[in-house]
């Protein structure tokens, strides 16, 4: 067990709880918290109300200060006005309280940042973890602890729910009860001054009572830690996230392509993919999927069967399955023969298997048993449309009997369509461990989430090799720019840096005069591009600072002179450092590789279709650093550029492995130099497999 688990155990599974600010007035929150603790079933003799003005509240002995409690206190809930919180917090430290929940509002959320920071300082000095401030509290069904002002404890279950919105937390307790969904814990995180979602994911990752971790979040603060912890925990338990705030764009407008394409939600989306976090668009979806994960094993293979008594419902399910990438198994002949025993002659053994409106309890049970016993079948969706032929309860029994008789080794999900009886049967089946939904699509989507998560757990995570790079060389180039107070590096400087990191760039040299230019040209060969090197000129073509297609020494001299003349005329005050003589890269398929430093998640890598239409096409994918080898390949596969690179219309396959290497090297560069804000390699020419790439145009911007 790790440190965070040991620390948060006192918050979520304490043996004793003090309520500081336990009020005598029934309408006050401090009174309600005390009442809720009692009502929830937490041991009465381990609840200590603290109030200097009262002797007894709700029949419990009161203490003037937590320091006066003669027993150890694991957790204290603080419900006094903000101005008194630092004082009582200090008393908690002196008492040796292990964790506190600060319900009180009136801190960072109203601009009192310093006051909130002070709370954390007191808690940290006292080795005490702090939840809040500005929270509803904590509900833990394992210890029957309702240390919150939620009316009731949720039903007991194995889904943990972490919420950034307190009001939503309270509302959802009612909603989960209505839907008969059980939770292990409900934790409101409020201002997240100390304990945040990363800590809680880590705790629930270790918690033996929690199978599924669900969250409602508006934002993540410790982005890199989130990726690291969530990625680790996801391998053991599914994390389902409802992340609100899609429309927000917190990333400042940045001039490079990468920057302008990066929005904060894009970054979240990318990180969730990397961390295996399943993103739910709505609460019903979040709990639909959580229930499926909580009740079912993961499928061992890809073959899905749809069993129905209604053709239409079967078709709807099939459409959704195809959309979600599920594989509907073609029924082998021997299996079809067995299934025919359980349907009329006009039934269908095509998948979806249609038992027809005549389907009986026996047919449902028989066919499901045959399917579950067949090793080629890996998961089954059972659909039932209420007909006059059977009652939902009978079909529910048939499913349960079949599942029980064959062992619960494969996921079986149901969908019952009809009136009240169907609704009730759905609830019963769900409670019995067969998640049942009111529409076939919801059942299929829930199953597809099991597959998605299964794929994540099976995914290899290969740490990139340690590339040989020339850090000193890159440092030297960056030092010059920093000393001159420049944020945008020249293309020549940018090329020097990426080259130092082993990224192939066209051969080039900086010439101070015509003779040097010719010498460089003769060394690297033709055709060439000559371009002005000046930190003051961002748009070289506009001042006549670029000449392309230079084929011989004579043309070099001519181009050199023309560029100098043009620039002297159009940008007379520019600081000219020379002229870059660069080999023209042979054109090929173009991609963009970039890096943008996100304020929350740090360096984000970008890959996409390159060239001048980048912003128009927006065929890009993002992932955060650290990037695994698989992340890089996945990024490429997500884009349309992938089809082009694989060999579109008879083209040979391009050097995808080299693109991956460049991406991993850029990730390393971004990690080594936090002062780099953006890197843009556009276009990168990608040649045939085995023949490499060339980053033709490079732009680096500093923070």
By CB under 6 A, name the one of 16, 36, 51, 415 that touches ligand ACO.
51
Number of residues that bind ligand ACO (CB under 6 A): 27
Smallest distance from ligand ACO to CB 150, Å: 10
Smallest distance from ligand ACO to CB 138, Å: 12
Copy the structure tokens of residue 633.
Answer: 């390949």
Torsion of CA 113, 604, 236, 434, to 10 degrees: 90
Q: Which is nearer to ligand ACO, 53 or 539 (CB)?
A: 53
> With the C-alpha atoms ordered 269, 273, 274, 276, is the resulting torsion angle positive or negative?
positive
Q: Which is nearer to ligand ACO, 52 or 419 (CB)?
A: 52
Smallest distance from ligand ACO to CB 76, Å: 10
Q: State how beta strands 508-511 and 436-437 pair.
A: unpaired
Given a contact cutoff of 8 angstroms between Cβ atoms, the answer to whether 666 and 586 are in contact is no
List, in sequence order, every residue forming a beta bridge with 590; answer none if it has no partner. 685
Assess 54 for contact with ligand ACO (CB under 6 A).
yes
Q: Which is nearer to ligand ACO, 80 or 503 (CB)?
A: 80
Residue whose tokens read 């993540």: 220
The string over 114-141, giving b where at least 16 C-beta atoms fall within 10 Å of a residue's C-beta and e elsewhere, is: ebbebbeebbeebebbbbbbbbbbbbbb
Given a contact cutoff of 8 angstroms between Cβ atoms, the answer to whether 170 and 149 are in contact is yes
Assess 34 for contact with ligand ACO (CB under 6 A).
no
* Environment class of 378 (CB within 10 Å of its CB; exposed 0-12, middle 13-18, buried 19+): buried
Assess 24 for contact with ligand ACO (CB under 6 A).
yes
By CB under 6 A, name the one of 33, 122, 135, 343 that touches ligand ACO.
135
**Among 47-55, 268-276, 510-518, 528-536, which window interacts with ligand ACO (CB under 6 A)?**
47-55
Q: Which is nearer to ligand ACO, 86 or 647 (CB)?
A: 86
Smallest distance from ligand ACO to CB 103, Å: 5
DSSP 544-602: T-EEEEE-SHHHHHHHHHHHHHHHHHHSTT----EEEEEEPPPP-EEEEEEEEEETTTE
Specify the DSSP class assigned to residue 294.
H
Smallest distance from ligand ACO to CB 12, Å: 18
Smallest distance from ligand ACO to CB 102, Å: 9
Given a contact cutoff of 8 angstroms between Cβ atoms, the answer to whether 158 and 209 are in contact is yes
Q: Which is nearer to ligand ACO, 67 or 646 (CB)?
A: 67
**Among 24-32, 222-230, 471-479, 640-648, which window interacts with ligand ACO (CB under 6 A)?**
24-32
By CB under 6 A, name the one of 52, 111, 208, 345 that touches ligand ACO.
52
Q: Smallest Cα–Cα separation from 591: which of 687, 667, 670?
A: 687
Assess 55 for contact with ligand ACO (CB under 6 A).
no
Assess 25 for contact with ligand ACO (CB under 6 A).
yes
By CB under 6 A, name the one of 10, 16, 17, 23 that touches ligand ACO.
23
Q: Which is nearer to ligand ACO, 53 or 649 (CB)?
A: 53
Question: Segment 154-183, which members bind ligand ACO (CB under 6 A)?
Answer: 166-167
Smallest distance from ligand ACO to CB 281, Å: 23
**Among 44-52, 111-119, 294-302, 320-328, which window interacts with ligand ACO (CB under 6 A)?**
44-52
Q: Which is nearer to ligand ACO, 43 or 106 (CB)?
A: 106
3-state class of 480 per DSSP?
helix
Q: Which is nearer to ligand ACO, 78 or 669 (CB)?
A: 78
Assess 49 for contact with ligand ACO (CB under 6 A).
no
Per-residue binder mask for ligand ACO (CB under 6 A), 92-131, x = binder: -----------xxxx-------------------------
Largest CA distance in the chain: 101
Given a contact cutoff of 8 angstroms between Cβ atoms, the answer to whether 251 and 259 are in contact is yes
**Among 81-89, 394-402, 581-589, 675-683, which window interacts with ligand ACO (CB under 6 A)?**
81-89
Smallest distance from ligand ACO to CB 132, Å: 8
| Nearest residue to the partner ligand ACO, using Cβ | 166
Q: Which is nearer to ligand ACO, 84 or 613 (CB)?
A: 84
* Environment class of 662 (CB within 10 Å of its CB; exposed 0-12, middle 13-18, buried 19+): buried
Q: Which is nearer to ligand ACO, 84 or 480 (CB)?
A: 84
Assess 148 for contact with ligand ACO (CB under 6 A).
no
d(CA 7, CA 138): 15
Query: Rounded to whole angstroms, what are the CA distances from 347 to 167, 336, 354, 621?
Result: 51, 11, 6, 46
Q: Smallest Cα–Cα separation from 360: which of 342, 334, 378?
A: 342
By CB under 6 A, name the one of 55, 61, 71, 84 that touches ligand ACO.
84
Q: Which is nearer to ligand ACO, 24 or 222 (CB)?
A: 24
Query: Rounded to whole angstroms, what are the CA distances from 692 to 52, 660, 662?
Result: 76, 11, 10
Smallest distance from ligand ACO to CB 113, Å: 17
Assess 28 for contact with ligand ACO (CB under 6 A).
yes
Q: State how beta strands 578-583 and 589-598 pair.
A: unpaired
Assess 50 for contact with ligand ACO (CB under 6 A).
yes
Assess 32 for contact with ligand ACO (CB under 6 A).
no
Smallest distance from ligand ACO to CB 166, Å: 2
Distance of CA 179 to the CA centre of its chain: 27
Smallest distance from ligand ACO to CB 27, Å: 9
Q: Which is nearer to ligand ACO, 193 or 307 (CB)?
A: 193
Assess 88 for contact with ligand ACO (CB under 6 A).
yes
d(CA 267, CA 289): 23
Q: Which is nearer to ligand ACO, 25 or 575 (CB)?
A: 25
Smallest distance from ligand ACO to CB 89, Å: 11
CA-only gyration radius of the chain, Å = 32
Given a contact cutoff of 8 angstroms between Cβ atoms, the answer to whether 398 and 307 are in contact is no
Phi and psi of 61, rounded to 5°? Answer: -70, 135
Residue whose tokens read 């668009």: 281
**Among 80-88, 193-201, 310-318, 569-577, which window interacts with ligand ACO (CB under 6 A)?**
80-88
Per-residue binder mask for ligand ACO (CB under 6 A), 344-383, x = binder: ----------------------------------------
**Among 21-29, 300-308, 416-424, 427-435, which window interacts with ligand ACO (CB under 6 A)?**
21-29
By CB under 6 A, name the one of 80, 296, 517, 645 that touches ligand ACO.
80
Q: State how beta strands 155-163 and 239-243 pair.
A: unpaired
The string over 185-220, giving b where at least 16 C-beta atoms fall within 10 Å of a residue's C-beta and e elsewhere, is: bbbbbbbbbbbbbbbbbbbbbbbebbbbbbbbbebb
Q: Which is nearer to ligand ACO, 165 or 566 (CB)?
A: 165
Assess 20 for contact with ligand ACO (CB under 6 A).
yes
CA angle, residues 123, 124, 130, in degrees to nearest 5: 45
Specify the DSSP class assigned to residue 348.
B
By CB under 6 A, name the one of 10, 11, 13, 30 that touches ligand ACO.
30
DSSP 27-86: TSHHHHHHHHHHHHT--GGGEEEE-TT-SEETTEEPBSSGGG-SS--SEEEE-S-GGGHH
d(CA 571, CA 297): 69
The binding site for ligand ACO (CB under 6 A) comprises: 20-21, 23-25, 28-30, 50-54, 79-81, 84, 88, 103-106, 134-136, 166-167
């Amino acid at each position: 067990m790790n440190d965070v688990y040991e620390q948060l155990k006192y918050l979520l599974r304490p043996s004793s709880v003090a309520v500081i600010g336990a009020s005598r007035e029934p309408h006050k929150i401090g009174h309600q918290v005390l009442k809720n603790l009692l009502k929830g079933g937490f041991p009465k003799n381990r609840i200590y109300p603290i109030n200097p003005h009262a002797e007894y509240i709700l029949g419990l002995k009161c203490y003037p200060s937590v320091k006066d409690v003669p027993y150890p206190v694991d957790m204290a809930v603080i419900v006094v006005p903000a101005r008194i919180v630092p004082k009582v917090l200090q008393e908690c430290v002196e008492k040796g309280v292990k964790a506190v929940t600060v319900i009180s509002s009136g801190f960072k959320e109203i601009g009192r940042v310093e006051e909130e920071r002070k709370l954390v300082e007191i808690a940290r000095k006292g080795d005490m973890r702090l939840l809040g401030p500005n929270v509803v509290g904590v509900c833990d069904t394992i210890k029957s602890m309702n240390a919150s002002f939620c009316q009731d404890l949720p039903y007991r279950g194995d889904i943990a729910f972490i919420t950034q919105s307190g009001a939503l937390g309270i509302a959802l307790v009612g909603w989960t009860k209505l839907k008969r969904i059980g939770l292990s814990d409900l934790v409101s995180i409020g201002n997240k001054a100390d304990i945040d979602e990363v800590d809680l994911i880590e705790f629930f990752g270790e918690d033996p009572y929690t199978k599924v971790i669900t969250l409602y979040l508006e934002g993540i603060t410790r982005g890199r830690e989130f990726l690291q912890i969530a990625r680790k925990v996801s391998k053991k338990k599914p994390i389902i996230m409802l992340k609100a705030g899609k429309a927000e764009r917190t990333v400042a407008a940045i001039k490079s392509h990468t920057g302008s394409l990066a929005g904060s939600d894009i970054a979240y989306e990318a990180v969730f993919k990397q961390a295996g976090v399943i993103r739910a668009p709505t609460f019903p979806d979040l709990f639909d999927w959580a229930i499926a994960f909580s009740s079912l094993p993961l499928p061992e293979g890809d073959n899905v069967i749809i069993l129905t008594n209604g053709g239409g419902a079967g078709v709807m399910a099939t459409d959704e399955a195809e959309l979600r990438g599920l594989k509907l198994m073609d029924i082998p002949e021997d299996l079809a023969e067995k299934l025919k025993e359980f349907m009329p002659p006009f039934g269908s053994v095509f998948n979806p298997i249609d038992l027809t409106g005549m389907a009986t309890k026996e047919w449902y049970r028989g066919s499901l048993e045959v399917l579950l016993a067949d090793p080629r079948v890996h998961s089954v969706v059972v659909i039932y449309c209420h007909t006059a032929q059977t009652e939902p309860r009978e079909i529910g029994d048939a499913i349960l009997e079949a599942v029980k008789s064959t062992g619960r080794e494969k996921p079986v999900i149901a969908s019952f369509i009809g009136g009240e009886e169907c609704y009730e049967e759905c609830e019963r089946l769900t409670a019995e461990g067969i998640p049942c939904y009111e529409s076939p699509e919801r059942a299929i989507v829930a199953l597809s989430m099991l597959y998605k998560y299964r794929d994540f757990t099976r995914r290899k995570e290969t740490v990139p090799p340690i590339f040989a790079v020339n850090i000193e060389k890159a440092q030297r180039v960056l030092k010059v720019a920093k000393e001159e107070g420049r944020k945008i590096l020249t293309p020549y400087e940018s090329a020097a840096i990426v080259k130092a990191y082993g990224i192939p760039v066209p051969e080039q040299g900086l010439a101070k005069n015509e003779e040097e230019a010719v010498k460089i040209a003769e060394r690297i060969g033709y055709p060439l591009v000559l371009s002005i090197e000046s930190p003051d000129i961002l748009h070289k073509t506009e001042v006549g600072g670029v000449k392309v297609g230079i084929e011989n020494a004579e043309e070099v001299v001519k181009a050199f002179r023309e560029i100098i003349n043009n620039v002297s005329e159009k940008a007379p005050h520019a600081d000219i450092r020379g002229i870059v003589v660069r080999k023209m890269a042979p054109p090929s398929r173009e991609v963009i590789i970039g890096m943008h430093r996100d304020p929350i998640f740090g360096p984000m890598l970008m890959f996409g279709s390159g060239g001048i239409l980048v912003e128009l096409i927006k065929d890009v994918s993002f992932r955060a650093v650290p990037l695994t080898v698989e992340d890089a390949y996945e990024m490429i596969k997500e884009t349309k550029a992938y089809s082009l690179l694989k060999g579109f219309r008879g083209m040979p396959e391009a050097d995808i492995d080299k693109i991956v290497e460049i991406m991993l090297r850029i990730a390393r560069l971004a990690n080594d130099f936090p002062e780099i804000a953006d890197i843009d390699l556009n276009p990168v020419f990608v040649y045939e497999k085995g023949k490499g790439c060339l980053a033709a145009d490079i732009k680096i911007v500093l923070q």
